[in-house]
Structure 1
Amino acid sequence: MLKSILFAAFALLCLAAPASAVQLDPYKDDLFAYPGFLKSADGGDYVVVDYNELRDINGRDTVPERRVKPNYVSLQPKRSQKDLVVTTDSGSVKVMAVGNLDSPAIITIYLHGQGGNRQQGMNDFTFGGNFNRLKNLMDRNNGLYLTPDFTDFGEKGAAQVAGLIAHFKAQSPQAKLFVACGSMGGMLCWRLADDPKAAKDISGLLILGSLWDDHFIGSASFKRRIPVFFGHGSRDPVFAIDKQEAFYQQIRASAKGYPVRFTRFESGNHGTPIRMTDWRGALNWMLSVAP
């Protein structure tokens, strides 16, 4: 009963968000919906999702963690998928793209973590098909999805991604642009947020199983009030969830009504947010509150 009440309350809060000129249409929402809610707080900005590996990995994949069941996937985006090289002031950047390269209404960039590459976020079958869902959401909604390679998680890597952002925003200045960062990729998200030039082009950040950065408070992005979404597993052995939750609360306390949300996947591990985050729900919320 509690789960049903929390789910209904969360759904109403999503529906009550301010209307946006751009919203992503449903795509396999029934398959990718959160399995249930254990807790809701902060007016629905903080939620605890019921996560279970036997159900959400073994029950969802034909080969656990390697290949999702076919009904979770559509290969339609393959028709627009391209491997590109973009020239920036910090050198050439290899990037994979799906969707509308000419005039997208929304651009989503995924930055991988340690040991990853530009192909990780384009893999249709790993992480429970969640990247495939993101590809479909962009491809079917006049959007553009990008997954780049970069040199490192420091200044050079951040400069390369900033150059990539500038390149695509120059071509489509009207597009809302969101950056999702997995694990160590979060270092780049926070560097970009603190870059006044890049901050002007970014409409929101998604921090998935990643770290925190106190310098975000007072940064160019913070002053613009760009929305921030946190997804984190309660058993993450790499980045402690209590520190990430404390950072979420710090943002809330630093600016009244700041657009920030936290989804805690109870019993989830380091990669759980990449597998389980509801891309459509998170991006539609961001689209409704982005500057």
Structure 2
Amino acid sequence: MRSLFLGALAFVCLASTASALQLEPYKDDLFAYPGILKTGDSGDYVVIDYNEMRDINGRDEVPERRVKQNYVSLQPKRSQKDLVVTTDKGPVKVIAVGKLDPGAAVITIYLHGQGGNRQQGMNDFTFGGNFNRVKNLMDRNGGLYLTPDFSDFGDKGEAEVTGLINYFKSQSPRAKLFVACGSMGGSLCWRLAQDAQSAKNISGLIILGSLWDDHFIGSPSFKRRIPVFFGHGSRDPVFAIDKQEAFYQQIRTSAKGYPVRFHRFESGNHGTPIRMTDWRGVLNWMLSVAP
């Protein structure tokens, strides 16, 4: 009887741990997808209805510059800090929101694209308030959100981001760490996936309106089966959606049951996934399947 009791107690503890690793709802009704046109691959492939008049003009007070106030909470400003983190790779400028003390429950890092900087992913009012939502999700759930500057999308930038990841993982070693990459920032996501040390630290990749890399297949991250999410606009003029969808299918067929999802924003443009992706849905899925 005692062994049965201990077994039941262990099960309850595991269940409590698992439930603790799900982000609580935050403005889910406002940020819900406006309509689902199609699903496939047992729900991993989703086509979302997107309409600029509704999803930009109807959502923004000033189109593409300032979202309506009800989409935003400035509560994370209380914990927001602009820092310079000294790493083995040199100093890295980064803005942080949430639990900077050791023991963050989850860490999300956003890497900007060409022409961006660390301010982009911290802007509360652009991209329909979607960055403000991820800030709130991290801040309200004992997590940490980071947006760094980096020198380039090559070796030096990779080394800087790697140093940043190593530093914050050393502070919160039990935290699941997710890297989201917008546009050209995706080249850094794929570089990190190739690095054996980074692959141990990263629990998932979020690829938003970005590129593909066939070398991911067989990489340390692929072998570890870290989840990958793709968000892409069907009218993206920078990175063709057909090639990104083909890469998604390549991952699926290269390893049975690989945790990969693709959300296609029908009629969406290059920046649409940054505006429209459901951060809570994506991160909770990753928390449930990450190694």
- 2:211 aligned counterpart, secondary structure: coil
Matched position secondary structure for 2:117 = coil
Instruction: Please state whether the residue corresponding to 2:201 is helix, strand or coil.
Output: coil
Q: Does 1:46 align with 2:50?
A: no
- Deviation at residue 20 of structure 1 after TM alignment: 5.2
**Contact 1:233 1:264 (8 Å CA) reproduced:** yes
Q: Which residue of 1 aligns with 2:192?
A: 192
1:124 corresponds in structure 2 to 124
Instruction: Give the Å deviation of 1:87.
Output: 1.0
Instruction: Provide the residue aligned with 1:244 in structure 2.
Output: 244
Q: Matched residues in 2 for 1:174 and 1:32: separation?
A: 29
The alpha carbon displacement at 1:89 in A equals 1.9
- The alpha carbon displacement at 1:93 in A equals 0.2
Amino acid at match of 1:63: V
Letter in 2 for 1:53: E
Letter in 2 for 1:147: T
Q: Which runs of 4+ in 1 moved over 4 A?
A: none
2:233 & 2:283 partners in 1: Cα distance?
20
Q: Which residue does 1:203 correspond to in 2?
A: 203
Q: Which amino acid in 1 is paired with 2:43?
A: G
Aligned to 1:230: 230
Aligned to 2:9: none
> Structure 1 length as normaliser, TM-score?
0.93
CA contact (8 A) 1:20 1:288 kept: no
Greater gyration radius: 2
The DSSP-based 3-state class of the residue aligned with 2:104 is coil
Aligned residue number for residue 22 of structure 2 = 23
Residue 10 of structure 1: aligned partner: none
Please name the residue that 1:95 is paired with.
94
Is 1:231–1:264's contact at 8 Å kept on the other side of the alignment? yes
User: How far, CA to CA, are the matches of 1:40 and 1:198 in structure 2?
Assistant: 32
Amino acid at match of 2:194: D
Residue 73 (structure 1) shift? 0.1
List per-residue Cα deviations over 1:47-98 (Å, max 9, x = no partner).
0000000000000001000000000000000000000001112211000000
Aligned residue identity for 2:71: Y
Distance in 1 of aligned mates of 2:19 and 2:188: 28
Native 8 Å contact 1:110 1:148 kept in 2: yes
Query: Conserved in 2, the CA contact under 8 Å of 1:87 and 1:93?
Result: yes
Count of residues in correspondence between the two structures: 273
Residue in 2 that maps onto 1:181: 181
Secondary structure of the 2:253 match is: helix
Q: CA deviation at 1:166?
A: 0.2
Alignment of 1:1-291 (within 5 A): 21-102=20-101, 103-291=103-291
Q: What's the TM-score, normalizing by structure 2? A: 0.93
Provide Cα deviations, 1:157-210, integer angstroms capped at 9, x if missing partner.
011000000000001100000000000000000000000001100000000000
Q: Distance in 2 between matches of 1:228 and 1:134?
A: 18
Letter in 1 for 2:48: V
Offset, 1:21: 4.2
CA distance in 2, matches of 1:198, 1:30: 35
**2:112 alignment partner AA:** H
Structure 1 gaps, min length 5: 1-18
SS of equivalent residue, structure 1 residue 180: strand
Question: Counterparts of 1:251 and 1:267 in 2: how far apart (Å)?
Answer: 25
